Amino acid sequence: MSVTGISLWRQISETLVGEIKRGIWKSGEQLPADTVIAERFGVNRHTVRRAVGHLETEGIVRVERGRGTFVVEDVLQYRLGVTTRFTANLLQNHRAPTRTVLALSEVAAPAAASDALELEAGESCILLIVLGAANSVPLSLGHNYFPSRRLPDLLRALREQSATAAGEFSITQALRSAGVDNYRRQRTQISARLPNEEETGPLRMPRTQPIIETESVDVIDDGTPVTYAKTCFRADRLQFVVGD
């Protein structure tokens, strides 16, 4: 590469940007390893890292620790409304949804879940922790709470659902099997914060990158709550659209 006028790392970054714009490297696709890029341009890895770091700062690529560098996907439009559903949102964005169950158990309801679900202090509830992904890329990590006494068949239904393929897991179907044919979103509270260590691993993100957190309550027709959820989303991969 020529060093005239423009530094080497900037020449590399501009070359990669041009290739991304021409579709040589597509949305969500992994770029070659630093060593491969370094060999291609005849430079050292430090120069490549600086070029890639610049592209990451510009929001053109994302670097996932232990996995590599990827072209940033188009931001997903995630609709929040009275019938918010994870799978439907992703399908509307032409993304393949998957949901992986990380934990499923009965626990004493924490204070926030107790209040939201209108339970007695310390009453048992079902805790379901789910990792949501779009096109196999982590998008959300949700802690979902359900009232055990009010929905005695739900734990069994969720266990059956957790045995299905990740692309077929459905909370809506589990609730239907437990006798809840219809439910709606009563409220959603949205905030932003930095992720903790338990979230950065599953979401494959650095501690310095913010997440969007939603706190929501779903109810049946008579207003009885059936779900309380706290879900964190990667802020670099979606934006919320409020309303139906």
96 and 207 assigned to the same domain: yes
Whole-angstrom Cα distance, residue 61 to residue 71? 4
Q: What is the average per-residue pLDDT within 43-72?
A: 87
60 and 107 assigned to the same domain: no
134 and 41 assigned to the same domain: no
Q: Using 50, 70 and 90 to split pLDDT, how confident is the model at 86?
A: confident
pLDDT given for residue 117 in this prediction: 97
Q: Please identify, among 71, 87, 120, the residue that sits at the C-terminal boundary of a domain.
A: 71
Both tokens assigned to 94:
């032409």
153 and 63 assigned to the same domain: no
Q: Please identify, among 71, 99, 118, the residue that sits at the C-terminal boundary of a domain.
A: 71
30 and 123 assigned to the same domain: no
Q: Is residue 197 part of a domain?
A: yes
Higher-pLDDT residue of 127 and 91 is 127
SS3 242: strand
Q: Is residue 199 part of a domain?
A: yes
Whole-angstrom Cα distance, residue 153 to residue 217? 20
Q: Is 143 left (phi over 0), alpha (psi -120 to 50) or beta?
A: beta
**Residue 37: which CATH number?**
1.10.10.10
pTM over 0.85: no
Helices (H) and strands (E) in the chain, counts: 8, 10
Domain range for 48: 8-71
Asked if 75 contacts 237 with a C-beta cutoff of 8 angstroms, the reply is: yes
Higher-pLDDT residue of 111 and 77 is 111
Q: Is residue 179 part of a domain?
A: yes
pLDDT given for residue 202 in this prediction: 93
Q: Is residue 2 part of a domain?
A: no
- 137 forms beta bridges with 134
47 and 122 assigned to the same domain: no
Q: Using 50, 70 and 90 to split pLDDT, how confident is the model at 227?
A: very high
Q: Please identify, among 54, 71, 88, the residue that sits at the C-terminal boundary of a domain.
A: 71
Both tokens assigned to 235:
């802020």
Whole-angstrom Cα distance, residue 116 to residue 129? 17
pLDDT given for residue 80 in this prediction: 82
133 and 173 assigned to the same domain: yes
Whole-angstrom Cα distance, residue 38 to residue 45? 6
Beta-carbon neighbour count of residue 207 at 10 Å? Answer: 10
pLDDT given for residue 29 in this prediction: 87
Which residue shows structure tokens 């650095």?
A: 206
Q: Is residue 3 part of a domain?
A: no
Count of domains observed in the chain: 2
Asked if 103 contacts 155 with a C-beta cutoff of 8 angstroms, the reply is: no
pLDDT tens for 102-145 read 999 999 999 999 999 999 988 999 999 999 998 888 899 999 99
pLDDT given for residue 43 in this prediction: 93
109 and 199 assigned to the same domain: yes
88 and 60 assigned to the same domain: no
pLDDT tens for 140-152 read 999 999 999 999 9
**Residue 182: which CATH number?**
3.40.1410.10
Q: Is residue 1 part of a domain?
A: no
